[in-house]
Amino acid sequence: MTLHAPILDWYAEHNRDLPWRRPEATPWGILVSEIMLQQTPVVRVLPIWEEWLTRWPTPDALAKEPPGEAVRHWGRLGYPRRALNLHACAKAITADFDGTVPATYDELRALPGIGDYTAAAVASFAYGGRHAVLDTNVRRVLARAVRGEEFPPTATTAPERKLAESLIPPVDAPRWAVAVMELGALICTARAPRCADCPVSGRCQWLLTGKPAHDGPPRRGQTYAGTDRQCRGALLAVLRDAPGPVPKGALDAAWSNTAQRERALDGLLTDGLAELLDNDFYALPT
C-alpha cells in the first residue's frame, strides 16, 4: 500500500504553521512542546509554550528556578505533574549534557518523565532521527488505513510498532511522522473523521470495508466536572495565583466537599505539587 506520497503531498498543502515546527525551533522548544501537547489541544498549548520559551529559552534557565515556578507558569494546561517532569528534565540536561538536549533516543528516554513517544518525537523532530513516532493520532490513522480498524488498541502493541517501523521512509522520516500525525489531528479524527477530505480515502481499509464499528472495549470520554481532578485543579489554582504561602482556610474555601478536598490536597502533597509549611500554610514546591 502506497501511503507516503498522498499523505506527504497533503501535508505540504495543509499543515499548520506551529512555532515548534519552524526551522528556528530549538531542541529544547521541541521537547517543551511535546510534553505540553500530551493530552492537551494545540490551541491551549500555544500561549503557554510561547510564555515558557520567552521566560526559559534554555534548560539551564528553567533549572535555576524552583520547581514551583514551573507549576505556576504551567497555568491551566492540566496534568501539572508534566511541569515537574519538565523541570526535572531541565536539571538533568543541565547537569549531565552541558545544557544541550540529548540527540539519541536512549539518552532522551533516560530523562525524568520521558516515555517512548516523547523520546522518539524529539529525536526525530529536533535531530532528524528515524523512529516510529506513535502518538494517538498516528496510531488511529494506521489502524484505519492499514488494518481496517476504527480505533487502535488501548495500549501500543508490538504489531503496531512493527507496522509503523515498516512504513518509515528511507529519507525524510521526521516529515513523514509529523504528516501522519497532522492527518490524524485534522482529518482522521476520533469522533468525526472527514473521510471525503482524506488523501488516502481510496486506499483506507476501514473506509473500503464499510467503516466497521469498533469491536473492543467501549471507549468512554473522560469526565471532569466534580471529579478529584477538578478539585486538585481548584486547589492548585489558589496556590498558583498567590504571591506566597496560603493558609489552609484559603484552600478550604476553594472546594466545598471536605472529604474530596482533603483527598485532593493529600494527592498534591504526595505528587510534589504542593508543600506543607509551618503554621498550616501551603505553597508550591520549592
Name residues whose C-beta falls within 8 Å of residue 53's C-beta, 6 or more positions apart in sequence.
Answer: 28, 29, 32
Domains of the chain, with CATH numbers? Answer: 3-127 (1.10.340.30), 228-283 (1.10.10.10)
Say if residue 286 is exposed, middle or buried (CB neighbours under 10 Å; 0-12, 13-18, 19+): exposed
- pLDDT band (50, 70, 90) for residue 46: very high
The residues annotated with a catalytic role in the active site are: 34
8 A C-beta contact, residue 131 and residue 123: yes
- Give DSSP secondary structure letters for 28-79: HHHHHHHHHTTTS-HHHHHHHHHHHHHH-SSHHHHHTS-HHHHHHHHTTSS-
What is the pLDDT, as a whole number, of residue 150? 97
Residue with cell 477530505: 197
Rounded Cα distance between 145 and 207, Å, is 8
Residue 197: how many other CB atoms lie within 10 Å: 13
Q: By three-state DSSP, how is residue 276 classified?
A: strand
What is the pLDDT, as a whole number, of residue 222? 64
What is the average pLDDT score of the chain?
95
pLDDT-above-70 percentage for the chain: 98
Please tell me the pTM assigned to this model. Answer: 0.93
Residue with cell 508543600: 275
Name residues whose C-beta falls within 8 Å of residue 158's C-beta, 6 or more positions apart in sequence.
Answer: none
